[in-house]
Amino acid sequence: MRSKERGLFELYRDDPERADALVFNRRGLLKGSALAAMGAAVGGAIPFSGNMPSGYVPAALAQGAPAGAAPKVLKMDGKADLVILGDKPLVAETPEHLLNDDVTPNDKIFIRNNGVAPDPVSSPDSWEFTVDGEVNNALKLTLGEMKKKFQPVTLALQMECGGNGRSAFEPKASGNQWTNGAISNARWTGIRLKDVLQAAGLKPGAVYTGHYGSDTHLSGDATKPAISRGVPIAKAMEEHTIIAYAVNGGPIPQINGAPLRLIVPGWPGSTSQKWVNRIWIRDREHDGQGMGGTSYRVPIKPMVPGDKADPKNFRILESMPVRSIITNIANGTELKAGTRQVGLRGHAWAGDHSVRDVHVSADFGQTWTTAKVGKAANKYAWQTWTADLKLPDAGYYELWVKATDSNGRSQGHAPGHWNPQGYNGNAMHRVAVLVPA
């Protein structure tokens, strides 16, 4: 933003409470001198200020980088400027405006480690993979043998961390404070997990999978997996659940699970085991690291935000919720003077479901424009949408997007169903822009 004064972005970064106090009067109404102050701070008038609901917190300004400390940018060979959310273990998200590609390139695939990543292997085809437990023939195969024995498949698949969107919860939920950047939609090549399980022969008692990888627990305890989650057999047998050995036509980046990883699209990313070397077929729900307590679990009846959880009230999080992002304009962009129309583009996805509609607004939700929503490249790929919005005057705008899934479920202004670890947070994405006078 071009403001000569210290802009609201800077103010939010340095002193968010003062910024809120400046913008909102005691009753939370954005008007009068507060509106003038905000206009000055953002460097322009707010043409649709009349539509701003009382008590409205300019979330677009507080979203992502401007709130709190300046972002720590990842410096890693083969990775774009991801934003570091944690360094022990390494966790880094891809800002929405870096996700504009239809197919996410390798350098923009986010990173979520739970433990200590293993060293790269020199001979990927000798990687050993085991299937055991409730099967007629336990399998021990090398990756080279797997490639020969099973039919390859290439699919564009969304892979989203279960905690994506968590940072919007109030009170704060525990875990990495993802904005919307824990999502990728790369083209993975591998073999169907179903084919491997059929070769092993599932026993009638097979009900759940348990996944293991070669990374080690942060504590250094070698007997404890960093993470070991699983899925019901039906999801494991789904056509789009694959064991991948390549991505976007080449090797998988080491940090994203080379030489072999699961992709369980539409479900929390934690089920997509990286560096996978064993699948244990269980005769009951898996009880590995990340399966207990409130981990990857959501309340079955609403709880009071901030309350202590009663694990009896929780079920395993399965399909991820509907979400949409604007990817062609970064939050805080100053458009060209004289801009009166803006073309928007982004993606939307909905876990196991498809996206029925995407709507965008430039007037704080007073009017919504229906976006053109493209078809998914295949089931479980995200859908790309485009829309044009009029900006009637110079000034400050927020561009909002919300998607609706095939069951009619949409996105709210703030995440609902508060839960201690902040799952299912799918507040709409908002991007602030300024059209200079």
Residues contributing to the site for ligand MTE (CB under 6 A): 109-115, 161, 213, 215, 226-227, 256-257, 269-270, 272-275
For position 252 contacting Mo ion by CB under 5 A, the verdict is no
User: Taking a C-beta distance cutoff of 8 angstroms, is the pair 260, 276 a contact?
Assistant: yes
CB of 255 to ligand MTE, least distance (A): 7
For residue 175, give both structure tokens.
């875990």
Cα-Cα-Cα-Cα dihedral of 106, 109, 113, 117, to 10°? Answer: 0
Q: Which 3 state secondary structure label does DSSP give 338?
A: coil
Binding piece for Mo ion, criterion CB under 5 A, among 155-163, 173-181, 366-374, 422-430: 155-163
CB of 359 to ligand MTE, least distance (A): 28
CB of 389 to ligand MTE, least distance (A): 32
Nearer to ligand MTE, 114 or 167 (CB): 114
For the chain, helix (H) and strand (E) counts, in that order, are: 7, 23
CA gap 330, 86 in Å, rounded: 23
CA gap 11, 21 in Å, rounded: 11
For position 95 contacting Mo ion by CB under 5 A, the verdict is no
The residue number whose beta carbon is nearest to ligand MTE equals 269
CB of 176 to Mo ion, least distance (A): 8
Residues 258-297 that bind Mo ion (CB under 5 A): 269-270
Given ligand MTE, Mo ion, none, residue 295, with its beta carbon under 5 to 8 Å by kind, binds none
Given Mo ion, ligand MTE, none, residue 114, with its beta carbon under 5 to 8 Å by kind, binds ligand MTE
CB of 255 to Mo ion, least distance (A): 14
The residue number whose beta carbon is nearest to Mo ion equals 161
Nearer to ligand MTE, 17 or 221 (CB): 221
Nearest to 324 by CA among 239, 431, 421: 431
For position 133 contacting Mo ion by CB under 5 A, the verdict is no
The backbone region for 390, taken as left when phi is positive above 0, alpha when psi lies in -120 to 50, beta otherwise, is beta
For position 415 contacting Mo ion by CB under 5 A, the verdict is no
64-88 per-residue burial string, b: 16 or more CB within 10 A, e: under 16: bbbbeeebeebeeeebbebbbbeee
Nearer to ligand MTE, 44 or 268 (CB): 268
Given ligand MTE, Mo ion, none, residue 93, with its beta carbon under 5 to 8 Å by kind, binds none
β-strand pairing of 208-213 with 139-142: unpaired
Nearest to 405 by CA among 234, 237, 266: 266
CB of 264 to ligand MTE, least distance (A): 9
Nearer to Mo ion, 270 or 324 (CB): 270
CB of 90 to ligand MTE, least distance (A): 9
Q: How many CB atoms are closer than 10 A to CB 148?
A: 10
CA gap 62, 56 in Å, rounded: 12
CB of 226 to ligand MTE, least distance (A): 5
Sign for the CA dihedral angle at 189, 190, 193, 198 comes to positive
Nearer to ligand MTE, 52 or 111 (CB): 111
CB of 263 to ligand MTE, least distance (A): 9
CB of 98 to Mo ion, least distance (A): 19
Given Mo ion, ligand MTE, none, residue 202, with its beta carbon under 5 to 8 Å by kind, binds none
103: which residues sit within 8 A by CB, 6+ positions away?
A: 156, 185, 186, 187, 248, 377
Nearer to ligand MTE, 274 or 282 (CB): 274
For position 112 contacting Mo ion by CB under 5 A, the verdict is yes
β-strand pairing of 276-282 with 128-133: parallel
> Counting Cβ atoms within 10 Å, is residue 201 exposed (0-12), middle (13-18) or buried (19+)?
middle
Nearer to ligand MTE, 100 or 254 (CB): 254
Nearer to ligand MTE, 79 or 359 (CB): 79
Residues 159-198 that bind Mo ion (CB under 5 A): 161
Start-to-end CA distance of the chain, whole Å, equals 12
Angle between helices 32-42 and 16-23 (to 10 degrees): 130
Nearer to ligand MTE, 179 or 272 (CB): 272
- Centroid of chain to Cα 229: 18
Nearer to ligand MTE, 225 or 346 (CB): 225
Residues that bind Mo ion (CB under 5 A): 112, 161, 269-270
